[in-house]
Structure 1
């Protein structure tokens, strides 16, 4: 079974589209999308039909179309497996998120070159959320009106624009502008990709689609800082070369998305923007999922924002590689944990992740007070093992328990909560550190998050979802 796109030239007779639709229905084939384009000849139009069918169905429909009196000719037939579109969307999400995190280990260089304060760095780190959150909400609501390509192709182009800004950045404002562009791009991908993966999955398996989306995000978060750190430490042009390589990696992603023909069918027009809302029946489940995602991202993001800025004080030297590797190792462990826990019950994923990420936070508190690399290493392992199943389980819980009617709104709100978990702790901790010092600020942060972790544990313990 694959996607088939037919281009047919027809006479402009009344009812021609209805007769074509009836022909498809008679053969048991659903039309995913049909559109007409006027040709230069006044009485002739071209009809583009998109449907999912096997090879035998394609032969039958091609023959039957040519027997209709309204059909002048069957111009072309294109087929492509949905698998190509499925992995194109996943790669696009991965490479966009990778660019978002490529800059993490390079912040230390910007701090030295531009004399930035911890507060300025925290704002730069979180600036992308200013654009990302509304981007997620708007894109998620517009998605039912058209195919995912019309969102993901511009999303990839905006991601390339953000990387170009970083490549030529010479001042702090350019850094912030680049982060905003990256936020728009990642917002588009997050708002579209999980819905696209669900639609393009052979069985439309919501849980597997959510898992692939979560792994793509985690892998992008891991490989971005790793590549940035290694190139910043050992390669020439440390504030340019990482972004140039990222541009090269985005080119095949853009080509694949442009050449992908699979579309998400839905309402073609008349869809108005609105404030996202939740179905009453799913409020409790959503609250558990979004709280857990907020906690998972809030703690994990510290390894890409606050920790690298103080790492040189703990080890006695500046290491961009180590700064990047810390983030990468956390997320590589998380990706492995996501893969290994993919068949667990969602409740087990949530409880396991909550325990491990709470333990990792306590170890991180000890690290901040003592500068112990042993405690830092242990916290990396615990947070990675906790973040993986906790975030993936939260996303799968939302995607699995939400009907198609509410999916756009619920996923939009979920991602808003998720990225607030990246932004608010990073900005808050950065500003508090500037005012009160790292240790006192981190103690306040830890107390707040332990309360949230306990609330999340209580919520997961009451979940009965498989």
Structure 2
């Protein structure tokens, strides 16, 4: 019994380290308007600065996605914390765009290392029979940490001094504390190998996965694109169109999307994998429709509802997609199939966001947002209809 308590304590501490790292990746979200004022760049530049993060994540997933299986969980997590600390230093030293790009890239490298390694580490540390609860801890740490980033930065920027510095100072302190915690946690990989044995993990799709993968990937793409817009463009919309200048409010609205996504992922157990994916697509469509209404009529409460409903749909769809493709993949190809899904998802968090930025320069933020919503809603509808038709065929 004491052994189980110790293992759960270690599991929760690892989850806290995971949350601290992920919080750093969304910390700049409510601060982009301040950086625009300081450096004088456009909304397009904001979206590119944001999207650089996704390129870092994708690079790590492709080149070193299985590194923690080879060299151990703790060494990879220590490197991830190092990248997180360097990212914070870049933002503290920022005197121009180059620092912001570098900081976001380092943040992406940190998240790429943590996403897989920390999830597995939390599950490894749980006592026997606790995999389901450990999965909940990992999910809550990942998305909860992403939500805590803008919430923390918004509160500090609004109610404390040095709005462009204090959030990153606080995060550096949290990263240092996380490193101290990680030093005291055990390694869970028994057979470790030198770092030069890590090989790039090429995504792949066995034939039996392709029918499931296509709608799952579309849903993941749309869901991450919605989160990407919330974390990159919504602060500008709230300021310019809704006259919301309170950084804490902006951070809280963005955080709500991530917290709702956590709820959606946890609800998969209640709805079941087969129903979660089409229900998630419906939630994404509803969230996009609410966001369109917010853009059209400049209503704050619709933005809040969009974060709540769209975030829940994203969580439901993504965990359903992950379960579907992992279940359809043969064991020897599961890692490469899951990597493929994550690559598609993080492409969704980058390219559409940049597209919104490009359109903003020519037709304005609200119109660009409506074009984005129309495209994503079409994709969500296609995926949802395909899944429903497939479910009908299977039941018949």
Q: TM-score, normalising length from structure 1?
A: 0.76
Encode CA deviations 1:196-248: one digit per residue, 9 max, x unaligned: 34444445777665544332221012111011111111110000111111112
Encode CA deviations 1:24-82: one digit per residue, 9 max, x unaligned: xxxxxxxxxxxxxxxxxxxxxxxxxxxxxx99xxxxxxxxxxxxxxxxxxxxxxxx955
Q: Residues 205 and 413 from structure 1, CA distance in 2 versus in 1: closer, same or farther, beyond 3 angstroms?
A: farther
RMSD between superposed Cα atoms in Å: 2.7
1:253 maps to 178
1:323 maps to 250
2:55 maps to 130
Q: Which has the higher helix share?
A: 2
1:356 aligns with 2:283: yes
Q: Do the aligned residues in 1 keep the contact of 2:156 with 2:163 (CA within 8 Å)?
A: yes
* Counterparts of residues 359-398 of structure 1 (less than 5 Å): 359-398=286-325
Q: Residues 381 and 271 from structure 1, CA distance in 2 versus in 1: closer, same or farther, beyond 3 angstroms?
A: closer
* Counterparts of residues 46-445 of structure 1 (less than 5 Å): 82-203=7-128, 210-265=135-190, 268=193, 272-402=199-329, 404-445=331-372
Residues in 2 aligned to 1:273 and 1:339: alpha-carbon distance in whole angstroms: 32
1:101, CA displacement in angstroms? 0.3
Higher relative contact order (CA 8 A, sep 6+): 2
Residues in 1 aligned to 2:183 and 2:217: alpha-carbon distance in whole angstroms: 33
1:114, CA displacement in angstroms? 1.0
The structure number with the bigger radius of gyration is 1
How many correspondences in the alignment?
390
Encode CA deviations 1:377-421: one digit per residue, 9 max, x unaligned: 332222132123222323333445545533332232222111111
Residues in 1 aligned to 2:160 and 2:251: alpha-carbon distance in whole angstroms: 14
Q: TM-score, normalising length from structure 2?
A: 0.89
Q: Gapped runs of 5+ residues in structure 2?
A: none
Q: Which has the higher strand share?
A: 1
Residues in 2 aligned to 1:212 and 1:398: alpha-carbon distance in whole angstroms: 22
Residues in 2 aligned to 1:82 and 1:283: alpha-carbon distance in whole angstroms: 38
Q: Gapped runs of 5+ residues in structure 1?
A: 3-53, 56-79
Q: What is the DSSP-based 3-state SS (H/G/I as helix, E as strand, rest coil) of the residue aligned with 2:350? A: helix
Q: Residues 274 and 359 from structure 1, CA distance in 2 versus in 1: closer, same or farther, beyond 3 angstroms?
A: closer
Encode CA deviations 1:349-385: one digit per residue, 9 max, x unaligned: 2222211220110121122122122322332222132
